[in-house]
Structure 1
Amino acid sequence: MNQVRDKQWNLGSVRPGSHPVKDQIQDILLHIEETQSVLKHGMNADEAVDVTKGVQDLYTEAFHMDEYIICLLSVDVMDEEAQELSARSTQLQAKMDTLLLGYSQCLAHMADEDWEAFIGRREVAGSERFLKQQRRKVKDQLDPEMEKLIHALSVDGFAGWEDHYDQEYARLKVPVTDNGKTEYISFDIAYIRGMLSNDRETRMEMGEAISKVCRENEDRFASIFNHFAGFRNELYQLRGWTNPLKEMFEQNRISERSVNTMMETLHQHKSLLHRFFERKAKLIQMEKLSWYDIYAPTFTSKTTLTYEEAADIVIEQFRRFSEKLGQFAQTAFEEGWIDAEPGDSKQHGAFCASFPNAKESRVMLSFTGNYNDVVTIAHELGHAYHNSLLHEQPGFSHKVGTGLAETASTFAENLVLDAAIDMAETEEDRLSLLEMKITNGLKYTTFIPAKFEFEAAFYKKRLNGKLSAGDIVQLMEETERNWFHDSVDEVFTHNWMTIPHFFSTEKAFYNLPYTIGYLFSNGVYSLYQQDKETFPERYDQLLTRSGNHSMDELSIEFLQEELGTDFWEAAVRPLKEAVEMYLEETEKYS
């Protein structure tokens, strides 16, 4: 057994500095102002190199600071001191965005001759894509003063609505009655406790309690959602962007054609979900599933895992891929990089924070002892490993397309889950893990695409005015049914209230990148299965270069094909094979 410090992380080594965080934020703000004052149009190559170094250093410092504060707030979202720091960090990020805007304007106004000399300099090697993108996107924006004003107003506007959502969601409590005694638990704890329960009565009661809480609060959350989307729509219109998905394509570094082809392919494979749900309903002796039955295990492993056992599983499977990856995971567990202790005031979900100046990462989740938690740890450590390779690159190349950012994490999931299925000691364990693999796959190929189409439809309707809570509920019903058909008797029409990705200011349409990353990762994983001896080195190269290449470019270079129908069909194939295997092996139980 490997040494595991505990289930709470150590933030000491990633703390930005020894001075109070407030003071450090102020120092960064002063340096931003100083750098802003030296920006000028008509820079030559030498001047551009010097300015780029200064802006890149500040960019990395501000990012590191924000990640640290996110970690502070995540363990207790009601911590007033952390909330204040978060507000200051939001202001810092807005100032940094303003500096980047001015910097981009300078790049855009460089003479072509100076630009070509600058972009070929060794000092900016590895950041070429970011720099070219900054220069190019200036033509898509308003004049500099207007963009600066928008950034300033967004602190209490756009970002303010995101903060408001986070706080309101954290306050939601679900009443749970046991032996005549009622307790109020956090929304996420209730969701996990209910949706993963083996007892259908418990799932139904918890599902009804969750729905009741949602109905009681729907108007407030609808108001937040409307204002949030309204700000983004208005900004896009001011910039003259006719395609509301433009920013999403750019952030994911993937072409619109590739995404459209992917969605068409996924629509053609919706029957995988229908067949799986039909079999699952038969196995639990029901005519149809309801939304609160979707994640419930039909087959259950008899073992509850300790955190130490989870660590052993992840480290061992990572090490089977490469000694480097295994040692990385061991360091993460032993050095206190992971906060896994559940808590009522802890942020819901899971994430990985990157600390470039310390060349470390931190992972947050709530570990409850099931195998899904092990997969979550693997997923987040996949992010952390990706970070470790990017930390050796220039700061600007740390900004990876969001779809590519999910590739390493999904790859790590596959390593852990596929190995566990192969090594399962009992049929019950094997079917339980196979079911988990399928449910995870359907999340990416069906659940998330449905959310994406809901979000796109919501933004389109929002152009014509605000939607009531009832309108939003109806829209979710329609888009979910388009994917689920009649395979469930009831969909979770208030799911829009529970998904923080809908309220992300930083990343537009932030659900779909998980699907893109999952499918791209499947393509990468298939290469590994064909060549396990030499592939780990190529894998590291792919991740290292992900900060300076598009997904379409990496696909051609590493997978030797475009992101067309053939690629997406091949990427869905592992899930299709898993569903076929599950249907065959559970036939005797149905």
Structure 2
Amino acid sequence: MTKHFRPVFDAAEKGAQELGQLPEWDLSDLYPAPDAPELKRDMDWLKQECAAFAADYEGKLATLDAAGLLECVRRYERISTVSGRIMSYAGLRYYQATTDAERAKFLSDCQDRITDYTTPLVFFSLEFNRLEDDHLARLLAENADLARYKPVFDRMRKMRPHQLSDELERFLHDQSVVGASAWNKLFDETIAGLTFEVDGEELGIEATLNLLTEHDRAKREAAARALARVFTANIKLFARVHNTLVKEKEIEDRWRKMPTPQYSRHLANDVEPEVVEALRNAVVAAYPKLSHRYYELKRRWLGLDKLQVWDRNAPLPMEEPRLIPWEEAEKLVLDAYAEFSPKMAEIARPFFEKGWIDAGVKPGKAPGAFAHPTVTEVHPYVLLNYLGKPRDVMTLAHELGHGVHQVLAAGQGELLSSTPLTLAETASVFGEMLTFRKLLASARDNATRKVLLAGKVEDQINTVVRQIAFYDFECKLHAARREEGELTPEHIGALWMSVQAESLGPAFEFMEGYESFWSYIPHFVHSPFYVYAYAFGDGLVNALYAVYEEGDPAFQEKYLEMLKAGGSKHHSELLAPFGLDARDPAFWDKGLSMISRMIDELEAMEG
């Protein structure tokens, strides 16, 4: 049966009429087309170079002098760049239309070939980690260009206690295309293909979720119930995806002797488990003074005995419905960036002018928003699903912040530019804060200021409280799967509801079907335990912004230098120039206090 997406097309037509011309990606900076000779050339080069690299270096790393090891690392970096360029192109084409069979096949074929070609490289990190510490230290001391890569080497060598035999590591590398990545694609294609009937109209997931921010409460309820119906109808498939991925992770963690399910994420993020635990504990302890207190205010504003889940992101009664045309959103964000630093606006402007943003809502397009760094010799691309809401403008400011960060860090080169997830949110959340402060400064009256403040508090609750609740859900999910075996959809739903009730507080009651809403969160599938990075980034930015407001005259220069560092420095080194230390529990309280003070101001307005 053919499914009709008429209202989604309506949204696109509406976008053209009311929002202005929404930009689309021009991916030709990566490759002109899937059958382009340039792509074939790179794929052929990759096949030959991976084999040559293994022939030249396998079993010989310990015999290399400093210059020889530097050449080896640079060749490895070049392979990373070329393979990253191909996969960026294939992935971005796919995210534009995840239900397009040709694009899905192209992505799979690229992934399969690159996995095959790079299998001979598996030896590199394993053999490198077997180098003696004293020997490596001598080589680094002899060659400054090689010493530049020390942060990469340090992160690699943190895996030393957890690496397996060369043969097993090759097996895991080969098997990955039919493991997690295959389940990820099944999830993506299923989510993108779902349709939701709301008041007789068929909508995709992005348009349906957007209705949860409508003024009309009946429309919000209809959307929430449609989401619950469809998620519940597909819940067995989603439970299968989660059970399989969590079990796969448990097996690999066991073989690698990872002490906890979260530990591999902490290693990847280059952050100490105790720092994450301090963040988590600070946020959970703050639930009553943050989310519980705010939602009680919102319950009173909406004149309700209890909030329902479809009221969580409802506009305030005094908020006037408003669509923000794309041109206005562009000017607002660029002006906010420019007032902080002309350099930031200069870096951001080409995103709007050169086809680096794909903004419209389209059938089959990946939901949500992201900034993809691609590779350092090209530039990032930003994906949005822009519908003209004020929150969409904040999303634009957020993703553009990622893009600016990625452009600035590109100077570090392919291996050093990538920022751990805990720091990856720094520029994005800061960009949001700059845009919010500009809006707040121009508020024409107290009612407008109240709406803006409430919106910002809600965004921060979604970023901090909601994401830590997500993190707790994942911790419970992985622990239960390890202790009790296969989890039923009902069991997973019960874990979800336990963290939702705790984090949202007594102002809420929960509709039947809400226990299925864990099923559509992509981070649980794509990046286990990723979500605490949002709270980490928000807390870090709030603390940074407090330093900025204190008037440090060199703040902008130090901030841009921090972004330029990419992944070349640990979070402690990056924050030291600002007098901040994430290992200090008071650091997180400082960030949370900023949210609390905004709620104080909202409560004072009630008086």
Query: 1:22 Cα shift?
Result: 5.6
Q: Corresponding residue for 1:198?
A: 215
Determine if contact 1:90/1:159 at 8 Å carries over to the other structure. Answer: no
For residue 347 of structure 1, report the CA deviation from its aligned partner.
Answer: 0.5
- In the TM superposition, what whole-angstrom CA distance separates every residue of 1:203-230 from its partner, at most 9, and x where no partner exists? 1111111101111110111011111111
| In structure 2, C-alpha distance between the alignment counterparts of 1:163 and 1:338, rounded to whole Å | 23
Q: CA deviation at 1:112?
A: 4.0
Aligned partner of 2:503 among 483, 492, 503: 483
* Superposed CA offset, 1:24-56 (max 9, x none): 334323322221222233232232111101101
User: Post-superposition shift, 1:503?
Assistant: 0.8
- Choose the corresponding residue for 2:493, options 473, 479, 490: 473
- 1:86-235 alignment to 2 at 5 Å? 86-91=107-112, 94=115, 98=119, 101-120=122-141, 121-177=143-199, 182-193=200-211, 195-235=212-252
1:334-387 deviations in Å (ceiling 9; x for gaps): 222111111121100001111334442111101111111111111111111111
Task: Find the residue that maps to 1:184 and give its secondary structure.
Answer: strand
TM-score, length-scaled by structure 1: 0.93
Amino acid at match of 2:97: D
Contact preservation (8 Å) 1:523, 1:559 = no
SS at match of 2:444: coil
Q: Secondary structure at the match of 2:510?
A: coil
Check conservation: 2:412, 2:568, Cα contact below 8 A.
Answer: no
Deviation larger for 378-387 or 168-177? 168-177
Letter in 2 for 1:241: M
Aligned to 1:38: 56
Cα deviation for residue 331 of structure 1 reads: 2.0
Bigger shift: 97-106 or 491-500?
97-106
Give, in angstroms, the shift of residue 169 of structure 1: 1.0
Q: 1:428, 1:97 → 2: CA distance? A: 58
> Structure 2 unaligned runs (5+)?
1-19
In structure 2, the CA distance between the partners of 1:542 and 1:320, relative to structure 1 (3 Å rule), is same
Counterpart amino acid of 2:154?
A: K
Q: 1:399 deviation in Å?
A: 2.1
Matched, 1:576 2:602: no
Pair 1:295–1:96, CA change in 2 (3 A): farther
2:258 to 230, 235, 241: 241
Partner SS state of residue 175, structure 1: strand
- Asked if 1:457 corresponds to 2:473, the answer is no
Contact map agreement 2:539 2:592 (CA 8 A) in 1: yes
- Cα deviation, residue 580, structure 1: 1.0
1:312 corresponds to which of 307, 315, 331: 331
Partner of 1:355: 374
Determine helix, strand or coil for the equivalent of 2:372.
strand
Distance 1:96 1:535 in 2: 45
Task: For residue 391 of structure 1, give the secondary structure of its aligned residue in structure 2.
Answer: helix
Aligned-pair Cα RMSD in Å:
2.0
Which one-letter code corresponds to 1:326 in the other structure?
A: A
Equivalent residue number for residue 449 of structure 2:
430
Partners of 2:120 and 2:214 lie apart in 1 by 50
Distance 1:165 1:472 in 2: 17
Counterpart check, 1:547 vs 2:559: no
Distance 1:22 1:190 in 2: 40
Measured in 2, the distance between the counterparts of 1:176 and 1:389 equals 44
Kept in 2: contact 1:401–1:550 (CA 8 A): no
Q: Which amino acid aligns with 2:151?
A: R
Tell me by how many angstroms 1:472 deviates: 0.7
Q: Find the partner of 2:277 among 256, 260, 265.
A: 260
Shift of 1:317: 0.4
TM-score by length of 2: 0.91
Checking the alignment, whether the CA contact within 8 Å between 2:206 and 2:385 is kept in structure 1 is no
Matches of 2:349 and 2:489 in 1, distance apart? 47
Determine if contact 2:278/2:585 at 8 Å carries over to the other structure.
yes
Q: Cα distance, 1:557 vs. partner?
A: 4.3
Check 1:517–1:186 CA distance in 2 against 1; reply closer, same or farther (3 A cut): same
> Which digits, 9 at most, give the CA deviation of each residue in 1:264-323, with x for residues without a partner?
111221011111111111111101111111111114245421000000001100000111
Q: 1 CA distance for matches of 2:376 and 2:557?
A: 25
What one-letter code is carried by the residue in structure 2 that aligns with 1:583? E
Q: Distance in 2 between the 1:16 and 1:56 partners?
A: 24
1:403 partnered with 2:422: yes
Residue 125 of structure 1 and its aligned partner are, at CA, apart by 4.3
Cα displacement (A) at 1:93: 5.7
Gaps of 5+ in 1: none
Distance 1:285 1:59, change over 3 A: same
Give the aligned partner of residue 395 of structure 2: 376
Contact 1:5 1:336 in 2 (8 A): no
Which residue is 2:538 aligned to?
A: 518
Label 1:302 to 1:471 Cα distance change in 2 as closer, same or farther (>3 A): closer
